[in-house]
């Protein structure tokens, strides 16, 4: 179901994660030179503060196809003046106000000059060296897709080289030199690798929304940027995600969590928090284990059950036992245990405050799960729900979690599976560190309030 992206050079992979890498390097050099030439008392510190301040300005550095300096000029002039002014005022208080103002204006002028140099240089290089252009797969074969393909071939300064038009049904039209046409089945990742594409553009194909969504989710780990030609482009308000290719707008699709630098902090954060939690909660875990053992003297303290994790891989999930032992096969295929006579009084209390879930902190620590993610399900039900709900398997694009967006919105126990898949996929496609923190805080509130399963 899921496919790994092919290996690429460090430079290409770096450019996929960091917007405007060459512009950042050029600006860093310009900032340091201006600070040194201005004779500031603390040039290196001022340069570092200015660089970090500019990187914090929203949309100043961004993924972009167009190289127009004028589009970014207002933002660059404001940021390029205000940020250096603040940096000099903080780290070089010896300078008077006129000197600080002159320095800030000189810095803004330098940033505009270096942005112009980088943009012109990249435009010339793109026009002269087709090999550096991003090989582009266009989903669609109608008039919009063909117009876009022709625009890109005639405008190499945008950095995209159309190599193929793919669609469910190919519309008859005049061939475009250098651009092949082909049919798209459900295996979009295979087509991306076949054409060595690093950009995919969705341009009004003969796809249903469901088929298109499934195809795009299947290539979540491919090293390809995604763009969409919006419907009714004449009425689209341009913003920082919009690029104009001639008269056609392109909207850049925010990439999946796996493609963000902050995603790589998720696992270290999980290890740190789960490790600290295991230490701090060890007295509680020991006390609960003793109570469970007293309640079930002949039964194991821990209930172990196979669940399905990321990419459909099974793992052994741990819980404190809350019920009188029964046939293991029954628990693997029985959906809901609400009202089950085998649920003990201790078990009911533990379930109310989600205390039976605490051993899963160890699952998080050893890498079976994350702190936050779609809740794991049993193999029998994963297979069943995957057949009934097309979006259900796509929950497994990320690690399963101790808690999740669906769970804290009340979708646990005997609730809608369709809604669970909807909420879980929303979490995956809108992931951020803050969303994880928000879910953890809401989970803590729910556990303290005794609204567990």
Interval 169-192: pLDDT, tens: 777 777 788 788 877 776 788 888
109, 128, 147 — which closes off a domain? 128
Same domain, 136 and 160: yes
107 is a domain residue: yes
Which stretches does DSSP call E strand in 265-422? 302-308, 314-320, 370-372, 401-403
pLDDT score at 339: 55
215, 239, 255 — which closes off a domain? 255
* Residue range of the domain that includes 19: 10-128
Same domain, 392 and 295: yes
**Range among 138-152, 250-264, 322-336 rated most confident:** 138-152
Same domain, 267 and 233: no
- Distance from C-alpha of 353 to C-alpha of 447, rounded to nearest angstrom: 5
Please give the span between the terminal C-alpha atoms of the chain, in angstroms, as a whole number. Answer: 31
pLDDT score at 453: 55
2 is a domain residue: no
Same domain, 79 and 148: no
* Residue 225: both structure tokens together: 């940027």
Same domain, 374 and 287: yes
- Distance from C-alpha of 13 to C-alpha of 122, rounded to nearest angstrom: 18
Q: Largest Cα–Cα distance of the chain, in whole Å?
A: 83
- Distance from C-alpha of 14 to C-alpha of 24, rounded to nearest angstrom: 12
Q: Which helix (H) or strand (E) holds 250?
A: strand 248-252
Same domain, 139 and 73: no
pLDDT score at 13: 47
- Distance from C-alpha of 369 to C-alpha of 434, rounded to nearest angstrom: 19
State yes or no: pLDDT of 197 exceeds 60.
yes
Q: Please tell me the total count of domains within the chain.
A: 3
Same domain, 116 and 147: no
Same domain, 266 and 405: yes
pLDDT score at 12: 44
State yes or no: pLDDT of 96 exceeds 70.
yes
Count the Cβ atoms, other than its own, within 10 Å of residue 415.
Answer: 14
* Residue 308: both structure tokens together: 């399905």
* Lowest-pLDDT choice from 13-17, 55-59, 203-207: 13-17
State yes or no: pLDDT of 241 exceeds 80.
no
453 is a domain residue: no
Torsion, Cα of 298, 299, 301, 304 (10° steps): 160
Q: Which helix (H) or strand (E) holds 260?
A: none
pLDDT over 70 for what percent of the chain?
87
pLDDT score at 378: 93
pLDDT over 90 for what percent of the chain?
43
């Amino acid at each position: 179901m899921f496919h790994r992206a092919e290996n690429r050079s460090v430079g290409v992979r770096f450019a996929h994660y960091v917007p405007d890498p060459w512009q950042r390097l050029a600006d860093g050099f310009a900032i340091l030179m201006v600070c040194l030439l201005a004779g500031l008392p603390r040039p290196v510190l001022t340069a570092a503060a200015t660089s970090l301040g500019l990187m914090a300005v929203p949309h100043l550095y961004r993924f972009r196809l167009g190289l127009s300096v004028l589009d970014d000029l207002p933002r660059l002039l404001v940021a390029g003046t205000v940020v250096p002014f603040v940096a000099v005022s903080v780290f070089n208080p010896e300078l008077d106000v006129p000197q600080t103002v002159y320095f800030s204006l000189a810095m803004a002028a330098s940033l505009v000059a270096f942005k112009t140099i980088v943009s012109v240089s990249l435009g010339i290089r793109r026009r002269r060296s087709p090999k550096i252009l991003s090989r582009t797969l266009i989903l669609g074969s109608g008039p919009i897709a063909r117009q876009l393909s022709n625009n890109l071939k005639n405008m190499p300064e945008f950095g995209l080289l159309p190599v193929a038009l793919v669609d469910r049904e190919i519309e008859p039209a005049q061939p475009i030199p250098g651009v092949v046409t082909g049919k798209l089945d459900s295996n979009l990742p295979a087509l991306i690798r076949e054409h060595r594409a690093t950009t995919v553009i969705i341009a009004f194909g003969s796809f249903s929304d469901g088929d298109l969504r499934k195809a795009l989710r299947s290539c979540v780990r491919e090293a390809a940027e995604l763009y969409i030609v919006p419907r009714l482009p004449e009425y689209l308000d341009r913003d920082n995600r919009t690029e104009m290719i001639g008269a056609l707008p392109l909207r850049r699709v925010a990439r999946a969590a796996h493609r963000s630098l902050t995603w790589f902090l998720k696992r270290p954060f999980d290890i740190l928090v789960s490790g600290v939690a295991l230490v701090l909660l060890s007295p509680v875990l020991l006390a609960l284990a003793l109570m469970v053992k007293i309640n079930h003297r002949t039964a194991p303290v821990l209930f172990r059950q196979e669940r399905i994790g990321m990419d459909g891989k099974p793992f052994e999930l741990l819980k404190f036992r809350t019920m009188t032992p029964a046939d293991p096969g029954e628990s693997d295929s029985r959906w809901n245990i609400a009202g089950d006579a085998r649920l003990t009084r201790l078990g009911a209390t533990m379930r109310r405050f989600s205390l039976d879930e605490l051993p899963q902190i160890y699952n998080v620590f050893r890498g079976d799960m994350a702190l936050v993610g779609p809740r794991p399900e049993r193999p029998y039900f994963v297979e069943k729900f995957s057949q009934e709900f097309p979006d259900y398997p796509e929950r497994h694009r990320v690690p399963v979690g101790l808690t999740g967006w669906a769970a804290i919105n009340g979708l646990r126990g005997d609730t809608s599976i369709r809604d669970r898949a909807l909420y879980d996929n929303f979490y995956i496609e809108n992931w951020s560190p803050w969303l994880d923190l928000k879910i953890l805080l809401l989970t803590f509130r729910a556990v303290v309030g005794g609204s567990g399963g």
